[in-house]
Structure 1
Amino acid sequence: PRRIILVRHGQSAGNVDETVYTHTPDWKVSLTDKGRDQAQAAGRSFKKILDGDAAAGPVFIYSSPYARCQETVEHLITAAGVPESRIVGRRQEPRIREQDFGNFQDPQKMRECKVSRNEFGRFFYRFPNGESGADVYDRVSTWLETLYREMEFGLITPDTTLLLVTHGLTARLILMRWYHWSVEAFEETYNPGNAQLMVMER
């Protein structure tokens, strides 16, 4: 593709109140009003990128199936004013979903787990009934293999802008796999801000 743009979802209810996870499944947690505003601002930034490139071609969107990512896509694309005719692909991709932290999450236990994770290492630590960063890396890797095949088959052309709307840790693991970072290099990174665009260009 001409460029790949990674976007973390806008601020979600879980970002401001972790007790949300005690009664709402992670994949159903929605954006806050601020998160919707952030997604719209990201859309305006996305528009500037496309408008500033006369050779920019179609747009292909991959997004996590989680509600906060789906809502981010809708607000971003609407604010960017991208016509449907320009969007040649739009897929929900479960392999770029959030790290699984377990089902309904007790805030106190999660805080304890995160302390243990920092001591053990954020990449290899596996949450009880959930995933490790390494698990997410593995599924992200299989998705990238699918992406490479779609490039080879011409579904994603050299002038395509690929928009990936996902989660903070997942975005970092995509970058880790793409740029062949070491585990130590990954451990030095932190999540991007909500609705922050990370642009990779050829």
Structure 2
Amino acid sequence: MRIILLRHGQSLGNVDELAYCRIPDHALPLTGLGEQQARAAGATIKELIGDGPVAAYVSPYKRTRRTFELLGVDAERIITEPRVREQDWGNLQDPAEQEVLKHQRHAFGHFFFRLPNGESGADVDDRVAAFLDGLTVRLHEDETHPKTVLIVSHGLTIRLLCRRLFDWSIELFESLSNVDTCENRVLDHDGTGWKLDRPFDQWRDSPDGTVQHS
């Protein structure tokens, strides 16, 4: 069994934070570069999928759906999956307030800090856990479900998907950096457990001393 995690291509929000003031987060489009990244990633993703069937679970946000479309992957199943969406920061955002919240979130911790009118990292972790529970059942018990899965999602959500699968500590999760836009991570199941193809970058050592052993 294989799970391929892919972050969306560069979006307008990645280059213009004021875009969040006039466009809902879920509706932010890819930039021109983001579209190029998604097209270029197609060959890599197809090689990782191989010749067998694949099921694609795609965040409902515009930037993730467009990224999947541009990959050109012929998936046997395509499921729009809200549980792998971005962390909810609320509706149209005030730039001054968001700057304050980012500093507070960094000081408090990305996992437990709850955004006003939005989610904490722990909230995302909960919905990711529910998604993974259902996916695990389908992979093991549904003979018709492809054994290769592509998940097109977002930076923090991808880190939390791995945190849940590998039971990483919260301290380790908060020490990891997001993958770059259109960067992937691959998880393979060897019959005993999941293995991660390569670690995430870390901006500091985990305070509790744990590391990214899968």
Structure-2-length-normalised TM-score = 0.84
Letter in 2 for 1:196: E
149, 152, 175: which is aligned to 1:162? 149
| Structure 1 residues 63-95: Cα deviation after superposition (integer angstroms, max 9, x where no partner) | 10000000000001x2xxx44xxx221100001
Residue 171 (1) aligns with residue 170 (2): no
Please give the secondary structure, in 1, of the residue aligned with 2:18.
Answer: helix
Structure 2 counterpart of 1:200: 187
Partner residue of 2:69 out of 68, 71, 74: 74
| Matched-pair identity in % | 47
Query: In the TM superposition, what whole-angstrom CA distance separates every residue of 1:141-197 from its partner, at most 9, and x where no partner exists?
Result: 11111112212222434xx32100000000000000011001111011111000001
Of 96, 105, 115, which residue of structure 1 is paired with 2:93?
Answer: 105
The residue aligned with 2:133 is 145
Matched, 1:136 2:135: no
- Partner-residue secondary structure (3-state), 1:18: coil
Tell me whether 1:189 sits opposite 2:188 in the alignment: no
1:106-135 deviation per Cα after TM superposition (whole angstroms, max 9, x unaligned): 122111101001111110001111000000
Moved over 6 A (4+): none
- Output the CA distance in 2 between the equivalents of 1:155 and 1:168: 30
Per-residue Cα deviation, 1:11-45 (whole angstroms, up to 9, x for no partner)? 00011001111111111111001000111111111
* Residue number among 91, 103, 107 corresponding to 2:79 in the alignment: 91
When normalised by structure 1's length, the TM-score is 0.89
CA contact (8 A) 1:42 1:197 kept: no
Higher helix residue share: 1
Higher relative CO (Cα under 8 Å, sequence separation at least 6) belongs to: 1
Structure 2 portions without partners, runs of 5+: 190-214
CA RMSD of aligned residues (A): 1.2
Distance in 2, matches of 1:177 and 1:138, equals: 9
Correspondence for 1:61: 56
Residue 115 (structure 1) aligns with: 103
In 2, Cα distance between the equivalents of 1:131 and 1:60? 28
Unaligned runs of 5+ in 1: none
- Segment of structure 1 superposing worse, 90-99 or 141-150: 141-150
